[in-house]
Structure 1
Amino acid sequence: MTLDSRQITKNDLFVALQGALLDGREFIPNAIKLGACAVLSETKQSEKHGLITEQNGAVIIHFYQLPKILSKLASRFYFPAADCHKVIAITGTNGKTTIATLLANSLTLLNQKSAQMGTIGNGLFGELSDSLNTTLDPLSVFSCLRDYHVKGAKYTLMEVSSHGLAQGRVSALPFHSAIFTNLSRDHLDYHGTMQEYAQAKKMLFDEFPLQQRIINLDDEVGGTWLAGYSDAITYSAMGKRTDSHRYLSVNNVSYLAQGLSFKFESSWGNGSIMAPFYGDFNVANLAAVITQLLAEGFTIAEIEKTIPHLDTVAGRMEQYYFSQQQSTFVVDYAHTPDALEKALVALKKHSKTGRLICVFGCGGDRDKGKRAEMAKIAEAFADKVILVDDNPRTEPAEQIMQDILSGFTQPQQIDCIHDRKQAIVKLLADSQENDLILVAGKGHEDYQIIGETRIDYSDRLLLASLQHLENKKTDL
């Protein structure tokens, strides 16, 4: 069952939707030629609903408002009899990828085969393939879940975006649990207002048969939701708890050279955690992970033993240390004002000496309002700021940079280097002892979009190659 006629093989079902850019009905002949035995063809005319026609031996069924029921059709198609394994949804502006990855990693270490779906890819843990969207189309979602189910997955950790919820891409998914991380400015080009953005996220907690609702008590929006869910479980990285909900509350956080340590109190008992991660937001991310594991019945002893062995998440506060300069680059996906502030504040706590340098840009054809906001944050928390291109897309890169510069009180102090590689190489050459350099925005991404061209580029691969070059010189 597919939306892409190019993927059709013999006896497949082709779904022809009338999209904003392409009309899938134009590809019906090609789908039939490739072997489709049946076609569901979207019609905008209610009187044509249920009309059946035939073309070259294939049945074409005309469907009114097909996109609205596509998730339910996909559910019945891929899981006609067997129940799906447990699917845990993670939603919120920041933290989705880290929580999903750390949960998949934790569950795998606890002998529960797990998969994940989201920004950095889809697949069994450790076997991810690239993903173009955080939340896939309804057919791909259920096709992937069926594949993981057959391979023995007990859990899938799914990042669920506001777009995915608003567009009904997961409307028929029987989510077992949902985690809400936080809400800050993002995607207003799509939702229009923060209220609409929040409401899209809240759909996950209102419209699905959840066994567990796990909500960040430290987030203002999450706190306002709690009154409506007597069964909710709260987590807090700031020592908060309520008397009316099960809870996990973190205290005694220490910021160490090699990561974090903290203690927690919970409805399941108290514990102590050591973890190879950095920043307050990772305390919150780990609190969410631990809360979900406790809710699933894992013991505190099992969790305390597992967390120190978790892997760092690609492009999420990922460190690259250069011994010759004694400086550290940190690659992070922070591309919103809130995420950038949290990353800078986090690094400030872990670095007692040396400069904190911030490298960032903003994407083109996206929310322009956040550009000046991010400038204010970078100026407030970093000792030095370098502006670079992110994904300019079809906007002039120079105009994007000017929009960002408008947010600085001293724009003359800001270095503007459009080419990310050039900026990083220069910073490495000019770095001083104990400098901490945040390279924000791209994270795990291995491309840039300039105009309508997608080019190969990765901050992570560049820094890894520079590290390798330094090690090679040291060996010589």
Structure 2
Amino acid sequence: MHLELIMPFPMPAYLAQLNVAGMSLDSRKIEKDWLFVALQGAQLDGRYFIKKAIQNGACIILSETKNSDEHGQIKMHQQVAEILVFKLSYLISQIAYQFYFPQKNLHKVIGITGTNGKTTIASLLANALQLLGVKNAQMGTIGNGLFGQLKTSINTTLDAISIFTELAKYQQQGVQYTLMEVSSHALDLGRVQALPFHSAIFTNLTHDHLDYHGTMQNYASVKKRLFTEYKLQQRIINADDVKGQQWLTELPDAISYGKVATQKNYLCVKNVFYKKQGICFDFQSSWGNGQISAPFFGHFNVQNLSAVLCQLLAEGFSIERLKKVFLTLNTVPGRMEKYYFVQKKITFVVDYAHTPDALEKALEALHQHKETGELICIFGCGGDRDPEKRPKMGKVAETLASRVILVDDNPRTELASVIMQDILAGFVNKEKVRCIHSREDAIKYALKHANAGDIILIAGKGHEDYQIIGKQRIHYSDRELLSALSQKEQA
């Protein structure tokens, strides 16, 4: 494609007809006649890799400048031009969109944002659509790809070029919907700036990522952009969340879901029943009334299922069809995922909860479904991340669990012992807590000492199959360990 067709500003005549065959932010992926985008990132400065990109075949370079006066200036590297671009990170999305979708014919993309619940809602939507016979793809924390064929991803939301690269692949494979988790970082850094979302869902806003955003107000403002700065067919917002309530008053055309009906278009949950095998709830809505049952735990999953139901009803699927589909939805990997040890009659539950609010909701959910025995909590906190939440999570665990075992999460470059001391500061009775740095040892200890009827929540890692210790990424999975221990018990 000619360079002039993908650039958001005029090109000199001698560059305008330059043919671009592909693009990347990674010089190692550059091929012949590709465009290389050199950003000045927090970790790496892409400009240091311009020479390598040219060696690999780059025909044009877009280089980020922090000086607005330099915007549009051109440097030559023999026959290859380097164009300096001011605020390039916010233009990449538009450039990638124009390159991969010149006809502006992108399939429907549903964005899900909020602190907790993004992965569950995206996964349940993908699962439901598949059961409804609609081909779809998913992008987010647990991976990217066609439903059931996800490939692991480091970030919740990919970089701008990778987003459109993936969407183009899905489109070629006949996908009708992509369910995308949209992080606050992605919104703030412009990764989805040009993406024409079909719909957006807001889950909730709780304490998280303040190491990046600084304040809850800044965090909320960034999330809100998805609902105010994008042309959406549907804005679906949780009316049970304080921030959601506020946004609904400002967005009269939005659809509300929750315990109360606040908008013209709404889904209102009425009666909730917590059963051993899952959840059942009645609802009233703009599309009719009914009852939904699904094999999940806790009130937060009532909210997640309500969001999914709301989106599918807004898309025109009937209540009768959806009632059947919800009965057969699958558990999301690492999201309240159950492992039952038959001989000892002990239940382990793996969940990704890594914020005070998420941990509280996970523990409350298990209390709602627990019949006998104690509730035990195993968790830790990540290093090089917001330290303010550590004592708060300790307080939540002490309040809601009978016993607590502190373990390492991803200590990264912090001392694991220091992280544990930060968590312990939230406990009144520190004798209630056992500290075992190894997650494997902690789980085996819990299995050995738990009694029949006990439920053990293992929080923090969820689907992840690694730990980051220092700067090393080491293979480890709570889920794999529990599966192996369960099989060993049955052998």
Residue of structure 2 equivalent to 1:414: 433
Between the aligned partners of 1:325 and 1:396, the Cα distance in structure 2 is 35
Residue of structure 2 equivalent to 1:173: 195
Between the aligned partners of 2:151 and 2:199, the Cα distance in structure 1 is 24
Q: Deviations over 1:120-173 (max 9, x none)?
A: 111111111111111111111111111111111101111111111111111111
Between the aligned partners of 1:399 and 1:60, the Cα distance in structure 2 is 46
Preserved CA contact (<8 Å) 1:372 1:404: yes
Report the secondary structure of 1:467's partner residue. Answer: helix
Between the aligned partners of 2:278 and 2:77, the Cα distance in structure 1 is 63
Give 1:23-42 correspondences, 5 Å limit.
Answer: 23-42=45-64
Preserved CA contact (<8 Å) 1:88 1:158: yes
**Could you list the runs of 5+ residues in structure 1 that have no partner in the other structure?**
none
Q: Deviations over 1:97-134 (max 9, x none)?
A: 00000001111111111111111111111111111111
Residue of structure 2 equivalent to 1:425: 444
Between the aligned partners of 2:120 and 2:347, the Cα distance in structure 1 is 21
Match of 2:348 among 311, 321, 329: 329
Residue of structure 2 equivalent to 1:467: 486
Whether 1:218 and 2:240 are equivalent positions in the alignment is yes
Match of 2:105 among 70, 74, 83: 83
Q: Deviations over 1:318-358 (max 9, x none)?
A: 00000111000000000000000000000001012111000
Shift of 1:61: 2.3
Structure 2 length-normalised TM: 0.94
Match of 1:317 among 336, 339, 361: 336
Residue of structure 1 equivalent to 2:3: none
Residue of structure 1 equivalent to 2:173: 151
Between the aligned partners of 2:450 and 2:338, the Cα distance in structure 1 is 15
Deviates more, 1:68-77 or 1:209-218: 68-77
Structure 1 length-normalised TM: 0.97
Residue of structure 1 equivalent to 2:261: 241
Whether 1:363 and 2:385 are equivalent positions in the alignment is no
Whether 1:3 and 2:25 are equivalent positions in the alignment is yes
Preserved CA contact (<8 Å) 1:91 1:161: yes
Shift of 1:366: 0.9
AA aligned opposite 2:296? F
Give 1:92-103 correspondences, 5 Å limit.
Answer: 92-103=114-125
Between the aligned partners of 1:451 and 1:405, the Cα distance in structure 2 is 22
Preserved CA contact (<8 Å) 1:32 1:56: no
Give 1:11-90 correspondences, 5 Å limit.
Answer: 11-90=33-112
Between the aligned partners of 1:54 and 1:73, the Cα distance in structure 2 is 21
Between the aligned partners of 1:81 and 1:56, the Cα distance in structure 2 is 34
Deviates more, 1:72-81 or 1:283-292: 72-81
Report the secondary structure of 2:211's partner residue. Answer: helix
Residue of structure 1 equivalent to 2:363: 344
Residue of structure 1 equivalent to 2:461: 442
4+ runs deviating over 2 angstroms = 43-62
Residue of structure 1 equivalent to 2:127: 105
Between the aligned partners of 1:178 and 1:389, the Cα distance in structure 2 is 35
Between the aligned partners of 1:45 and 1:240, the Cα distance in structure 2 is 50
Whether 1:458 and 2:477 are equivalent positions in the alignment is yes
Report the secondary structure of 2:126's partner residue. Answer: helix
AA aligned opposite 2:74? I
Match of 2:402 among 357, 378, 383: 383
Match of 1:140 among 137, 162, 178: 162
Q: Deviations over 1:62-109 (max 9, x none)?
A: 222211211111111111114110110111110000000000111111
Report the secondary structure of 1:41's partner residue. Answer: strand
Work out the number of aligned pairs and report it.
469
Report the secondary structure of 2:193's partner residue. Answer: coil
Deviates more, 1:422-431 or 1:433-442: 422-431
Preserved CA contact (<8 Å) 1:361 1:387: yes
Q: Deviations over 1:10-66 (max 9, x none)?
A: 222111112222221221111111112222122233343323344344333222221
Whether 1:394 and 2:402 are equivalent positions in the alignment is no
Between the aligned partners of 1:191 and 1:22, the Cα distance in structure 2 is 21
Between the aligned partners of 1:49 and 1:35, the Cα distance in structure 2 is 24
Between the aligned partners of 1:285 and 1:39, the Cα distance in structure 2 is 44
Shift of 1:375: 0.9
Give 1:277-296 correspondences, 5 Å limit.
Answer: 277-296=296-315
Shift of 1:230: 1.3
AA aligned opposite 2:260? K
Report the secondary structure of 1:357's partner residue. Answer: strand
Q: Deviations over 1:223-252 (max 9, x none)?
A: 01111111111111xx3112x421111122
Q: Deviations over 1:245-293 (max 9, x none)?
A: 2111112211111111111111111111121111100010000000000
Deviates more, 1:6-15 or 1:332-341: 6-15
Between the aligned partners of 1:428 and 1:56, the Cα distance in structure 2 is 66
Between the aligned partners of 1:43 and 1:365, the Cα distance in structure 2 is 28
Match of 1:258 among 256, 277, 284: 277
Between the aligned partners of 2:70 and 2:260, the Cα distance in structure 1 is 56
- Measured on the aligned residues, the alpha-carbon RMSD in Å equals 1.1
Between the aligned partners of 1:49 and 1:454, the Cα distance in structure 2 is 39
Report the secondary structure of 2:24's partner residue. Answer: coil
Deviates more, 1:133-142 or 1:333-342: 133-142
Percent of pairs with identical residues: 62
Report the secondary structure of 2:292's partner residue. Answer: strand
Report the secondary structure of 1:88's partner residue. Answer: strand
Residue of structure 2 equivalent to 1:354: 373
**Could you list the runs of 5+ residues in structure 2 that have no partner in the other structure?**
1-22
AA aligned opposite 2:205? L
Report the secondary structure of 1:359's partner residue. Answer: strand
